[in-house]
A and B are shown apart, each in its own frame.
Chain A
Amino acid sequence: MSNNSNPDGHDADRGVELMADVAQGDQRAFRLLVENYQAMVFALLRRILGPHGAIEDVAQEAFVRVWKNREKYYAQGKFSTFLYRITYNLALNRIRDEKRKPLHAMPKLDGIEIVQQDLRSDTPEEIASRGDWAGLISWGLERLPHNQRAVLVFQHYDGFSMEEISSVTGLSSAAVKSMLHRARTNLREILQPYKDSEND
């Protein structure tokens, strides 16, 4: 069972309809588009970037890209897939940029680098002790390699088929399938100790 937040769920494809007007420069239609799809974009970004990531910045950039490229858009499939592709690529760019930055630009004292602890994050033990499963999942997802994290999020939360995940990520269906299996196995291993303590 998945928490499908995809606005395309019961509509034919509201996004495609709105994009037809957006392509003509209709700002009102664009605003409706943002309002219809912002929750989906935020949900994806929080799971891909983690709760402390630059979610709002990337979400805004995703919609700005949609507007700026509105004339190039043509309805090839679901609008959500198109938007996911943009959002996912921007999220990957952000992850790459963050990795390039020195994690903690702290001065060295006598040549010994000071390691700064991320004060925003609780330990998994603390999260588990509060019975915060959602927090544990969030913590666990952050420990997965980003591509495994992404395929799992697309499959579980967005209910995407292998082909759709393949279309968004640019991976082959076989690679998606294998990555999905590894993602579940790894996440299970990461969370197992805390899940047990949760049940104790």
Chain B
Amino acid sequence: MTDWLNKMLDSDAPAEVPEGFAESVMGELFASPQIATDQPSSMSFMKASGFAAAAALMLAVGIWIGQGSKPMSAPVDVQRDAEMAAVNIDSIYANHEMLDLFDVLEDGETADALQTSTSATLQDVDFALKLLTVEGEK
């Protein structure tokens, strides 16, 4: 059916694509791409780094306090230091505030875990002391 309407319709030329359109699409998707796509994994890395830093810091502070500021290489006398360690275990967790300042405890679960840990049982303290002993013997 080639009536006047079809002829008119055929006279409509295809649209012109603006120059650089493909680049603009690619730019929209990939210009700051890795920021957008990798953000979750980057956050996970940050989180993992935070945990690692917190753990390392707590371990170091724990060892240092547990040994009563003695040289790190000196052996630990569990019997003698037990009382001091039991008292100071709370001050380890008091450092929670300091860790917060370093933004390493953003995660709620970690904070909760630390809160729970401040009401440690005697078994927990005993376990901590054993850990300190092992560390001290190294």
Interface residues of A (CB under 8 A from B): 1-3, 5, 27, 30-31, 34-35, 38-39, 42-43, 45-47, 55-56, 59-60, 63-64, 67, 133-134, 136-138, 156-157, 184, 187-188, 191, 195
Contact = CB atoms under 8 A, between A and B. Distances in A.
B46 interface: no
> Secondary structure of the B side of the interface?
helix
A136 B7 CA distance: 12
> Secondary structure of the A side of the interface?
helix
A134 B22 contact: no
Interface of B: 2, 4-18, 21-22, 24-26, 28-30
B12 A138 contact: yes
Contact of B8 (A30, A43, A136, A157): A136
A81 to B, nearest CB: 19
A191 B12 CA distance: 14
Contact of A38 (B11, B22, B28): B22
B26 A31 contact: yes
Given A31-B22, A60-B28, A191-B8, A38 B14 contact: no
B5 A134 contact: no
A136 B6 CA distance: 13
Nearest to B29: A67
A39 B30 contact: no
B30 A27 contact: yes
B26 A34 contact: yes
B14 A43 contact: yes
A55 B15 contact: yes
B8 A5 contact: no
Given A39-B17, A42-B15, A56-B18, 14 more contacts: A1-B2, A3-B10, A3-B14, A27-B26, A35-B22, A38-B17, A39-B15, A59-B21, A60-B21, A64-B28, A133-B8, A137-B11, A184-B5, A191-B8
Contacts of A157: 9, 12
A116 B47 CA distance: 56
15 contacts: A3-B14, A34-B22, A35-B22, A38-B21, A39-B14, A42-B16, A56-B18, A56-B21, A60-B21, A60-B28, A133-B11, A137-B11, A156-B6, A157-B9, A191-B5
A57 B128 CA distance: 62
A5 B17 CA distance: 13
A190 to B, nearest CB: 10
